[in-house]
Amino acid sequence: MATFGTLSDRLTETFRTLRKKGQLTPADVDGTVREIRRALLDADVALPVVKEFTAAVRERALGDEVNRALNPAQQVVQIVNDELIGILGGQQRRLQFAKNPPTVIMLAGLQGSGKTTFAGKLAKMLEKDGHTPLLVACDLQRPNAVNQLQVVAERAGAAIYAPEPGNGVGDPVKVARDGVAYATRQQHDIVIIDTAGRLGVDAELMKQASDIRKATEPDEVLFVIDAMIGQDAVNTAKAFQDGVDFTGVVLSKLDGDARGGAALSVASVTGRPIIFASTGEGLDDVEPFHPDRMASRILD
Ligand code: GDP
């Protein structure tokens, strides 16, 4: 994963300088924290997240609770590792299922963020675990969107509920509601609702997504965000949080050469866990997100 290349290199270099020191003076800690701050900002991590992160690292590196069994550089690496896991959400959060099926999972996000592709990835993952997901095509905005979901469903080997052309087209809320009812009748234990995205955040899109949410009462609302959008990630995530609210995040396009800022900001800014990471265009290019593994990857 190329995403964290530069950030990783910068942090490694900072720690290498630190390793040459026997003892850490407060000035050494400050210098290190300054380097970390610059590296995070250059990686497009949101400023409030950077501030909180560096304050926590500084406080702990200067504090008494540092592990005396480790040398100074190791101590700082350990602290940075812990704090990275913290901003990435702490513990791994798994997908939540309904007590009484079907479990309803709604996807939201900007157009092009990777929602439709992720719908197929999720369906495929769930099928491997013995589930029988139904994809519901509620993106009636783009002429080709329903068709695109049909292609993805076929590739995933999943069932799909889509409006017939000219029948029900134009009311995505009704399609969502009917889709859930259909899943119940046909005994699909999971419903994945793909919703419309726009190129930018807009009120109409939010209202539609919010109405679909109210009509289907999903167990999970997953916000899909393209890791490549850098600094915009935070504002987009906040807009979706205010407009629809979501229970978890899917980071997509982590295979790209984004600088990693979105990944490192979004959980912390929204307080919502990252549940999946998407790493390619293929339907198998997805994995559950583990904050600790991601932190190790960055500090590798
Ligand atoms: P939607 O508009 O949100 O439904 O987005 P799509 O699922 O149509 O994806 C938009 C484009 O991004 C497509 O060309 C996908 O093949 C591509 N894409 C989706 N997920 C990933 C990913 O994880 N990595 C890469 N490299 N491309 C992706």
Tell whether ligand 1 has an atom less than 6 A from the beta carbon of residue 252. yes
Give the H or E element holding residue 176: helix 172-185
Query: In angstroms, what is the span from residue 117 Cα to ligand 1's centroid?
Result: 6
Task: Check if the interface score ipTM surpasses 0.95.
Answer: yes
Query: In angstroms, what is the span from residue 226 Cα to ligand 1's centroid?
Result: 8
Q: Where are the alpha helices (DSSP H) in 105-159?
A: 115-128, 145-156
Which residue has its alpha carbon closest to ligand 1 atom 6? 114
Tell whether ligand 1 has an atom less than 6 A from the beta carbon of residue 278. yes
Share of the chain above pLDDT 70, in %: 95
How many Å apart are CA 129 and CA 255, to the nearest integer? 25
Confidence of residue 127 (pLDDT cuts 50, 70, 90): very high
Tell whether ligand 1 has an atom less than 6 A from the beta carbon of residue 113. yes
Residue 8 Cα distances to 1, 13, 36, 169, angstroms = 11, 9, 10, 48
Pocket of ligand 1, candidates 3, 115, 117, 228: which has the most ligand atoms within 8 Å of its Cβ, to mutate?
117
Query: In angstroms, what is the span from residue 54 Cα to ligand 1's centroid?
Result: 33
pLDDT of 67: 63
Summary mean pLDDT of the chain: 90
The most confident of the ranges 81-90, 226-235, 260-269 is 81-90
Strand order in the sheet with 133-138: 159-161, 133-138, 190-195, 103-108, 220-226, 248-252, 274-278, 286-288
As annotated, the binding site for GTP includes 109-116, 194-198, 252-255
pLDDT of 282: 97
Q: Which atom of ligand 1 is nearest to the CA of 109?
A: 3
How many Å apart are CA 212 and CA 206, to the nearest integer? 10
Confidence of residue 128 (pLDDT cuts 50, 70, 90): very high
